[in-house]
Amino acid sequence: MNLSELTTESADPRFAGIDTMSVADLAATMNAADASVPGAVARALPWITAAIEATAERMEAGGRLVYVGAGTPGRLGVLDASECPPTFSTPPEQVFAIIAGGESAIVSPCEGAEDDEAAGVAAIEAAGIGPLDTVVGVASSGRTPYVVAAVRRAGELGALTVGLACNAGTPLGGVAEHAIEVLVGPEVVSGSTRLKAGTAQKLVLNMFSTIVMVRLGKTYGNLMVDVKATNGKLRERAVRIVRTITGTGRDEALAVLDRNGFNVKQAVVASRFDLSPQDAAARLARSGGRLRAALGEQV
């Protein structure tokens, strides 16, 4: 793929004089450019929706969500995946990211790693990717060799594959079952895809993890009922959630959480039906871990 033909690599004449602008004018220019990103994401919503629906179906059956990227897209995948355990109590192996160059590339540039197709294939094989899994390749250009090779191999192994790029008609989209193209246009600094392209990718990945987890019953309404209360702030959030759902006072909410190991869903069920932790856990399990169902509410 000819890099000079990529929109993300082109130079927009509107930004040709940024080195002569005041800080205030440059900040306003960047802010105006960034404001176009949500619209670009909105235009891709039909393809985003289809990919998320297919992903949720496989994860419901026990599959995993795996992001693959290099550079900024790889780091965004790591960021999104790393937020799932504290937010939704997912095990680390259920949602994770593969980044070209390995863990060191998260904090240190490893730009050459993105050209290593064999490493992309090896990473997919090492992760044991299979038919229930979803692999989301993220590449601003849509032609990153490591990512394209990884997604292609994941498809060969039966996984659902998604290609998220910021150009049209890319090799990544060509090898993925679901191609998502968010066309954000040229960057303020030509080719610096950590800017609008990176923002667009973050928005799409937010949708992926959040909507899939909502579909898996990880929220009750908009409440984070699967929060892992591992610090003071999150314990206070757990207390507020239990109080909101059950209508109990703070002391009672804290007490039921203590008895139920600060498992919010279990604590709510125990409080609502005056159950022991064991019986509350069993009722929740019979409902597939879905709190609304465990409470006998209409879905």
Q: Residue 102, by phi and psi: left (phi above 0), alpha (psi -120 to 50) or beta?
A: left
One-character DSSP codes across 236-287: HHHHHHHHHHH---HHHHHHHHHHTTT-HHHHHHHHHHT--HHHHHHHHHHT
Q: What is the CA radius of gyration of the chain?
A: 22
Q: Annotated catalytic residue: which of 57, 60, 83, 252? A: 83
Q: Are strands 65-69 and 95-99 parallel, antiparallel or unpaired?
A: parallel
CB 212 within 8 A of CB 65: yes
Query: What's the CA dihedral at 223, 225, 226, 230 to 10 degrees?
Result: 90
Q: Which of 46, 92, 45, 43 is nearest to 65 (CA)?
A: 92
Greatest CA separation for the chain: 69
| Known active-site residue 83 | yes
CA distance 221 to 23: 43
Phi, psi of 89 (to 5 degrees): 55, 35
Q: Which of 158, 113, 118 is nearest to 139 (CA)?
A: 113
| Known active-site residue 9 | no
Residue 10 tokens, joined: 């082109």
Active site residues: 83, 114
